[in-house]
Structure 1
Amino acid sequence: MKDNWKEVHPKSIFQAALSHPLSNQEQAILTFLYQPIIGAEAFSLYLTLLSEVEETGVSESLFHADLVTMMDMSIKQIQAARKKLEGIGLLGTFVKNDSELGMHFLYRLNHPETAERFFKDEVLSLTLLNSVGQRKLDKLFERFKPKFVNLTGYEEISAGFKDVYLFKEEQMISQSKQLMQMEQSFNDPRPAQKPSAVNESFDWTYFVQGIEKLGIKLPDNSAGFKEEVFIFHNLFGITELDMIDFCSKSFDYYTSKIDVKDFERAVYRTYDPDKKQKSSEFQKNDSVELSAEDQQTYRYNSLKMNGFSTQDIQMIMDSEKNFPLNYLEALKNERGGYTTPQERSLVKYLVSKSGLPNSVINVLINYVYNIQKQPTLKADYVNRIANEWAQSGIFSPEKAIDHVRELAKKGKEQKQTRQRYGQNNRPIRQETLPDWVDNPVEEQKLSKEEQARLDKEIQDFLSKGGGN
């Protein structure tokens, strides 16, 4: 019967049904979380069918021609929108053949998932991410995540149920039949299908047989693990045999059950491996043995000779002596802010995946936080910059600063162009950038003679006891 949708025509009869009304929260979830995935036409179809449902839970019998008129859409467009609703679990379509009226369609509207279930569902979360991008996903998550109150230091003194209400336990036995009937009335005999990443190109039965031969068991949440296996299969093209191999390295020796976290790490290590960080590229004096302190002095003088200001040099040296998470924490604390869990994860990801030295990552953090005035680091934006810097070979903090200056220079030129050709010839206000970006100093490369003179200064400094 699944192919009967092809027989829909304007004179086909349909009814819309809904088990119970949508709550305000469900309407918000439908609008903000589902609409970006399903699109405007499918969203409109859901609302149109919803508007026809009466208090009885079912609409009157209508022709599809009525739907075409109400939505100003063709049958083909309605069918395409309907399939989008079906695929994500918001609509169940049922059909029966009436001897007098022909095909009779029943469109059962399903309730959207709760915000908690939506974000815990990897299929839905990844689909939304692919539709709106990381920045928008972060905003939507912030909107719907629970706002728990911090109860540290409080003692609960709430009254218990039995302290307030009369409850006779013996009634549970005498009224058990009625209670069971009421409970069962809320169970849908044909529940809505959840969105699934299951793909026929992956042989789940063969995979399960393979791990069982090794004495390995599925984890307790086997349904969730199955979805994860299919997601990895769709994402990386991992075969059944390779998936079995990953499981053979990711199980608990005491229970023989697959450890899901170890399984995930094994997959990511292979298909999204950590990238070894490049060594920071900066000038050292290897001609003589210098202590760490004297190398710092040499570095300071080298940067000074290359045209960097005292403020620049301070920033470069700060970036070189701090780990990125500590550096970010210091920047946030300076302004009274705090580092979010998402930011910590992002910084750790940059360190393991970007290949950029810690010092360059610190300059990047400074650029986004202080120059771009972003209150938090957003994954999509930061990863885009890190990718560009890595591909451009920016592996020292001074190169990063030069690059940022160049960006600022181009931005200023664009603003000046817009100012000249602004609407109604009114000047456009320009943002003020910090000194180290807004007032670049021309870089002066050291000549061999200057370098030799600088080396001599260091040697003279040491011979006079400066290293003591």
Structure 2
Amino acid sequence: MAQHWQELIPIDRYQVTSSGLLHEYDRKVLTFLYQPLIGSTCLGLYLTLWAEIEENRLWSGSSTHHLLMNLLSVNLKDIYEARLKLEGIGLLKTYVKSDESGRSFIYELHPPLNPEQFFLDGMLNIYLYRKIGKNHFARLKRFFSDQQKPLNEEYLEVTRAFQDVFASATPGSLQYMQDHSDDLEAEQKHEFIGRQDQKPIQIDTNTFDFDMLLAGLNESLVPQKALTKKVREVISNLAFLYGISPIEMKNFILGAINENDEIDIEDLRKGARDWYQFENYDQLPSLINRTQPAVHQEQVTEPKTQEEKLIRYYETTPPIVIFKELSGGVEPSVSNLKILEEVMIKYKLPPGVVNVLIEVTLRKTDMKFTKGFVESIASHWARLKIKTVREAMEAARKEERSVKESKKTGKSTRKPIRTEVLPDWFDDNGKNKDIDSGKENPKDNNVELEAKKRAIEEKLKAFRK
């Protein structure tokens, strides 16, 4: 992925359009339901773009991104990152055109989900509940709902039908309408102003292994026709939301089959949610970045050295995959996952930085992943405002050099318990060594330690490939 300055520069021009009318009520939905998930910068960008089209209804004038930077008082990187979040959550579509005069964008605003869609979404409502808590979530539900109409058997409907009020047109008037039909339609290259309901977030069904799921389901218990398009979409969303494998999903489907051999979607959702809460001490998942955000990725060219390859790998791989590979393929425990989640949410460390944190922690603590040690590094890196993989690796090297200097000068108050096995990139002299060179470090005369290090290097090579 390219850096933000390769995707966007201040002189790039843009226009704003809308997929339909945006209503005043949408502002409340965006402020109270979407803002906790996407942040105030994203909301500010959306509302600013919206304000630009209000004067001209569906299209704004042409402006530069430098104007946006001044209006929002943020840098271009923040605008680019906010734009990506708006795109991901379904509030914005972006189109770009490049020609000899430069690059121009069209930002198409999409309306938010209405409150009923949001609270019944099955994904966004779960993330919001985890973010703001039970009490405030209940308060928002009351804010966006009201009592049902007091209609009962005591009231009789007396509404007149269309045909009871209006008469049919005469043949003459029908002929008049046909003669002037062109005047009644929208003009060429114009469209009537209207609004289409926003579609809920949908995870691509290709991301879930349905072949494995079908192989685990008994045809006599769950007929294949029960996996309708709607059911498949719900399964994909649940698998993403709760991290459910095809084998685990089979159990929830078996528990959601009704007497008509159909899968009850609500029972399926409830089963997955109850399982997740049981496994995670009654907690619900949070909305975090899956991999390193594009704005914090540095290795955009083809990596050549060992360090560049490692940086690129950490920038494009989810932390849970890194943890599993460094652990020899062993699945992380529930407590390990909880620590990872808390680090990314509480200390706001990007996924690539968390990947470096995982390797440092596992190597320096004999493959243990204790909360206290992890949080001590995470809080330190958060104070240093570390956002990139390279910065995290340099911070780890600096800390290691500091520890070695303290030992040499005798200023260290901590007693060394053992000799840590450190990652390759801790060695400043080996920064540009090719990943497959396999050269030994001439400074290390300890044959036994060197053999251990080579064995670990070989394992890491296999994992990283």
The TM-score, its normalising length taken from structure 2, stands at: 0.49
* TM-score, normalised via structure 1 length: 0.48
Q: Bigger relative contact order, structure 1 or 2, given CA contacts below 8 A and separation 6+?
A: 2
Q: Based on CA coordinates, which of the two structures has the bigger radius of gyration?
A: 1
